[in-house]
A = this chain, B = another copy of it.
C-alpha cells in the first residue's frame, strides 16, 4: 500500500459508473497516485452481514474481479448459498454470490471484533494488491433515506427491493450530521501536492451527495487548492446506467448535464461533458462560472476508461481554483 503522500488525485465515487472512471484513472496514474473516497451510505446490514456495495464494486473493479457486464458482483460467481437460503425461506431479494459472501464474512467478522471499516477496507485492498487507496467516506454509519411517494425507504429497499420504482421526492442522509470524515481524506484534500479532485460520473443524489453530506468534505472541497473536476453522469438527457435520469424527472429537474453542474454548484472548477452535449458548454459556463471540457465520456471498454481518465487529468492545467 502506498502512503497518502504519494497521492496525486482523489476521486469521489459511488458504485459502477464511478468505478469505471476510477479504473481508468488507476491505469493512467502511477501506482499509489490515486485515492478513492467511496460512498458508504448504501451500506446495510443484511442477514447479519455488513454489506458495503460501493466499496465492493470498487474493490472488485479495480482488482479485475468484477463481473464484466452485470454491473455488480464477481465474475464466475456461483449461487449455492442463495439457493439453499431460498429453500429454507430466507430473504433472497439481495443476491449474494458464494464468493462475494466471503468478502462480507471477512468484513463483518473484523467489524464485530472492533476493527474500523476503513481498516477492514485497507486490508482488503492490500490483499487484492491494489495500489490505490480505497477509503470509506466515514467509519461512522450514514444511511441514505429515499423520500418517495411510497414513504421513506431505506436505500437498498428502494434500489434493489423495489427496483427504483417509487417516485422520489428527495433524499436525506441519516447520521451525516455526526459522522466523522475519514481523516486521511481530509488531509489529502488539504495537501498542497494534490493535483486534482475528480467527482466521478456517479449518481449525484445517492452516490456523491452522501459524501458531501458530511460538512467537512464540502468545506475541504471548497478550500482545496487542487481543481475539482466533475464528469457528467448525464449524457444526451440519459443516464448511462442507474436511476439518475429518472430521479431528475421525478424531482422536476430538466434531465441535462447543465442541471448536474448546477447541482454541484460552487464546489466545481470544471465540468466535463460528453461530445453529444457539446452545445451545452456555453450555457454551463454562463450559469455556473466553471470551465467546461468536452470529450467522449461513455466508457465502453478499458481503453475508453483510460482515455476519459487521461482527458480529465489533462484539464488540470486549464483550471485554477482561486
> Could you tell me which A residues sit within 8 Å of B by CB distance?
45-50, 78, 80-85, 87-91, 98-106, 108-109, 111-112, 123-124, 127-128
* Chain B, Cβ-Cβ closest to A87: B102
Given A48-B48, A48-B49: A81 in contact with B109 (beta carbons within 8 A) = no
In the complex, how many angstroms separate the beta carbon of A279 from the nearest chain B beta carbon? 48
Given A84-B99, A85-B102: A108 in contact with B78 (beta carbons within 8 A) = no
In the assembled complex, the Cα of A111 lies from the Cα of B47 at a distance in Å of 9
Q: Is the beta-carbon distance between A102 and B90 smaller than 8 angstroms?
A: yes
Most B CB within 10 A of own CB, among A45, A78, A82, A84: A84
In the assembled complex, the Cα of A40 lies from the Cα of B82 at a distance in Å of 26
In the assembled complex, the Cα of A102 lies from the Cα of B99 at a distance in Å of 13
In the assembled complex, the Cα of A127 lies from the Cα of B90 at a distance in Å of 10
In the assembled complex, the Cα of A111 lies from the Cα of B49 at a distance in Å of 12
> Chain A contact residues: over half helix, strand or loop, or mixed?
helix
Q: Is the beta-carbon distance between B127 and A98 smaller than 8 angstroms?
A: no
Enumerate chain B residues within 8 angstroms of A89, measured Cβ to Cβ.
106, 123, 127
Most B CB within 10 A of own CB, among A81, A112, A128: A81
Most B CB within 10 A of own CB, among A83, A88, A90: A88
* Chain B, Cβ-Cβ closest to A46: B109
Enumerate chain B residues within 8 angstroms of A123, measured Cβ to Cβ.
89
In the complex, how many angstroms separate the beta carbon of A225 from the nearest chain B beta carbon? 37
Q: Is the beta-carbon distance between A47 and B98 smaller than 8 angstroms?
A: no
* Chain B, Cβ-Cβ closest to A106: B90
Q: Is the beta-carbon distance between B48 and A112 smaller than 8 angstroms?
A: yes
* Chain B, Cβ-Cβ closest to A59: B88
In the assembled complex, the Cα of A45 lies from the Cα of B114 at a distance in Å of 14
Q: Is the beta-carbon distance between B81 and A47 smaller than 8 angstroms?
A: no
* Residue from B99, B103, B108, B109 in contact with A80 in the complex, judged by beta carbons closer than 8 Å: B99
Given A48-B48, A48-B50, A49-B48: A84 in contact with B109 (beta carbons within 8 A) = no
Enumerate chain B residues within 8 angstroms of A88, measured Cβ to Cβ.
102-103, 106, 124, 127-128
Enumerate chain B residues within 8 angstroms of A84, measured Cβ to Cβ.
98-103
In the assembled complex, the Cα of A264 lies from the Cα of B28 at a distance in Å of 72
Enumerate chain B residues within 8 angstroms of A81, measured Cβ to Cβ.
81, 98-99, 101-102, 105
* Residue from B48, B78, B112 in contact with A98 in the complex, judged by beta carbons closer than 8 Å: B78
Given A98-B98, A124-B88: A109 in contact with B78 (beta carbons within 8 A) = no
Enumerate chain B residues within 8 angstroms of A104, measured Cβ to Cβ.
48
* Residue from B47, B83, B91, B112 in contact with A45 in the complex, judged by beta carbons closer than 8 Å: B112
Enumerate chain B residues within 8 angstroms of A85, measured Cβ to Cβ.
102, 105-106
Leading 9 A-B pairs by shortest Cβ distance: A48-B108, A84-B102, A80-B98, A84-B99, A47-B109, A47-B105, A85-B102, A90-B106, A81-B98
